[in-house]
Amino acid sequence: MLHKLHRISAVVIGAFVLVHLINHLFILDGVQSHIEFMDAFRQVYRHMIAESILLLCVIFQIFSGIYFVWRRWGQRSSFIEKAQAFSGLYLAFFFLNHVGAVLYGRVIAQLDTNIYFGIAGFHNPPFHFYFIPYYFLAVVAIFVHIAAAFNWLCRNKISSSLRSKLAYTIMATGCLLSLLLILGFNGWFNEIVIPQKYNDFYG
C-alpha cells in the first residue's frame, strides 16, 4: 500500500515538475517569457486545493522515500539501484529546502517568488557557489530517479541491456538539460538584471 501511494504521489509531483521544467526552459527566451508562462501556470497550481494536494504529496514523498531508502539499503547492488537511493535522498533534501525557501519568501519576506527569487543567488557572489550545484544536481537527480523507476517498471518487458542503455540515456538527457538551464539562469543567452529587492534578500 505504501509503495502504491508513493507512486501516486510521484505522478502528481512529476506532472508539476514536468511543467515547471518547461517553464524554466523559457528562460532561454528571456525573463519576460519565463514570467508570462509562470503567471499562466500559477492559475492552476496556486489554487488552494491544488497547492494543498501538491504540498501533501511532497511531504509524503519525502518521508516515504527516506523510509524506502533506509529499509532497502543493504539490498541495492546495481549502480542504478544505488543511484535511485542517492537521487531520492538528494531530492528529499532539495524539496525540503526549496519548498521551505519559497514559503518563507512568500509569507515572511513578502516577495513574489518568481524566477528572480529563484535565481538571485546565481547573481550574488559568493552564493552562486552553492546555488549552481544545488540546482544542477536537483535536475540531474530528477532524471536519475526517473531512469531508475523506468528500469524497474520495465524489468519484465525488455532485456536488461536495453533497459540499462535507455536508463543511462535518460540520465544523460537530464545532465544536458540541467547544464542548459544553469547557463540560462546565469544569463548566458539573455541579459538578466535582478531587481534590488531580491538582491537585498542576500544582503
What are the residue boundaries of the structural domains of the chain, listed by start? Answer: 2-200
List pLDDT tens digits, range 54-63: 999 999 999 9
Average confidence score pLDDT of the chain = 93
pLDDT band at 19 (very low <50, low <70, confident <90, very high): very high
Query: So what's the pLDDT on residue 76?
Result: 72
pLDDT band at 154 (very low <50, low <70, confident <90, very high): confident
Whether cis (ω within 30° of 0) applies to the bond prior to 133 is no
Helix residue spans in 72-127 (DSSP H)? 79-103, 115-119
The radius of gyration of the chain from alpha carbons, rounded to an integer in Å, stands at 18
